[in-house]
Amino acid sequence: MHRFRGDAMPVVGCPLLNSRGSLAFESLKGVSLSGYKGVCVRASDATGDAMIEFHDGLSSTAAAPPRLRESAGLSTAWESGGRWRTSPPGAHLREELLGCIFHVAPATFFQVNTVVAGMLASIVTGACGGAGRVLDLYGGQGAFAVPLSMRGAEVDSVEIDEETTIAGRRSAEASGAETVRFVTASARDYVSSVLKDGTKWNAVILDPPRVGLEHGITSMMKSVTDGMLVYVSCNPTSMSRDLRLLIGEGWALQAVHALDMFPQTDHVETVAVLIPECEV
């Protein structure tokens, strides 16, 4: 841990870690962390995997991080020369959501509260139930796309980060999801490109970062779907702004779900389902 805008300080444990993470944390005790700005412990109780990430190494060499005590299912990852390396080579953290296996690459995003993340994925996939073709914008590693594919939908998942896209393909393969396609691109660039050929989907999922939707995305939605929009947000402020724009473009708010993704904090994860105003 580190003090607010201050120096690092040792801790004996973390009450927010799951049981597998606590075991992984034990392997760090007595280990010198000199030369690293941060250490991240990631773990899954569902699969038994754990990964310790050493962030922002001060050396540009490919030297491995400190040697940790051997532990089944524990891998390490570290930054070196501008890229991530793992031991064993090619290691990912396997996580499970809605019965699907996800391969989480080092330093890529995946919800840490997997219990509530499962509820979130269930709400989103349930809202899209029956949609034959789904466009998943800001799709990440496919937390919505892979389960939807397993239910028979054809999904195009668009994510700007290439490492996350690669991990998504690996996750789809591990889960046997054969009808999901991962595209590395910004949401706005991708939607702009498909407008030219008139491609449409039965539903669109929007799960942007905290800043909200990219400029101009809201005005494009009517051109890519005649069905519904499912908007997922971790920031009620940017979501409120974007919903106001979407309503102004002819969408109607059908349902809103709030989930306590980060208990004992003021953060809330929200899902809004919108349909064309003419269907109200």
Which segment of 30-44, 51-65, 95-109 scores lowest on mean pLDDT? 51-65
Nearest CA among 207, 211, 196 for reference residue 272:
207
Pair (86, 154) in one structural domain: no
pLDDT value of position 181:
97
Choosing from 43, 76, 91, the residue where a domain stops is 91
Q: Whose structure tokens read 């724009």?
A: 245
Instruction: Give the count of beta carbons closer than 10 Å to the beta carbon of residue 238.
Output: 16
Choosing from 91, 110, 130, the residue where a domain stops is 91
pLDDT value of position 63:
63
Contacts 24+ apart (CB under 8 A), 175-179: 175/100, 175/101, 175/102, 175/146, 175/150, 176/150, 177/100, 177/142, 177/145, 177/146, 177/149, 177/150, 178/149, 179/149, 179/152, 179/153, 179/154, 179/155
Cα-based angle 267, 269, 271 (whole degrees, multiple of 5): 155
pTM: 0.89
Give the mean model confidence (pLDDT) for residues 104-117.
Answer: 90
Active-site position among 14, 40, 128, 234: 234
Question: Which residue type sits at 87?
Answer: S
Choosing from 91, 126, 150, the residue where a domain stops is 91
Contacts of 160 (CB under 8 A, 6+ apart): 138, 184, 185, 186, 187
Whether residue 128 lies in the annotated active site:
no
Q: pLDDT at residue 177 above 60?
A: yes
Bigger pLDDT: 68 or 86?
Answer: 86
Q: What percent of the chain has pLDDT over 90?
A: 66
Give the domain CATH number at 195: 3.40.50.150
- Map the chain to HEC letters: CECCCCCECCCCCCCCCCHHHHHHHHCCCCCCCCCCCEEEEEECCCCCCEEEEEECCCCCCCCCCCCCCCCCCEEEEEEECCEEEEECCCCCEEEEECCEEEEECCCCCCCCCHHHHHHHHHHHHHHCCCCCEEEEECCCCCCCHHHHHHCCCEEEEEECCHHHHHHHHHHHHHHCCCCEEEEECCHHHHHHHHCCCCCCEEEEEECCCCCCCCCCHHHHHHHHEEEEEEEEECCHHHHHHHHHHHHHCCEEEEEEEEECCCCCCCCCEEEEEEEEHHHC
Which segment of 25-29, 94-98, 122-126, 241-245 scores lowest on mean pLDDT? 25-29
Question: pLDDT of 187-220, one tens digit each?
Answer: 999 999 999 888 899 999 999 999 999 989 999 9
pLDDT value of position 7:
65
How many angstroms separate the CA atoms of 198 and 16, rounded?
A: 47
Pair (271, 228) in one structural domain: yes
pLDDT value of position 3:
67
State the pLDDT confidence band at 164, using cuts at 50, 70 and 90. very high
Pair (36, 84) in one structural domain: yes
**Most confident by average pLDDT, 73-77, 111-115, 271-275:** 271-275
Mean pLDDT score across all residues of the chain = 90
Domain residue limits at 27: 19-91
Pair (109, 85) in one structural domain: no
Pair (119, 221) in one structural domain: yes
Question: pLDDT of 57-67, one tens digit each?
Answer: 655 454 677 88
Pair (51, 123) in one structural domain: no
4 occurs within a structural domain = no
99 occurs within a structural domain = yes
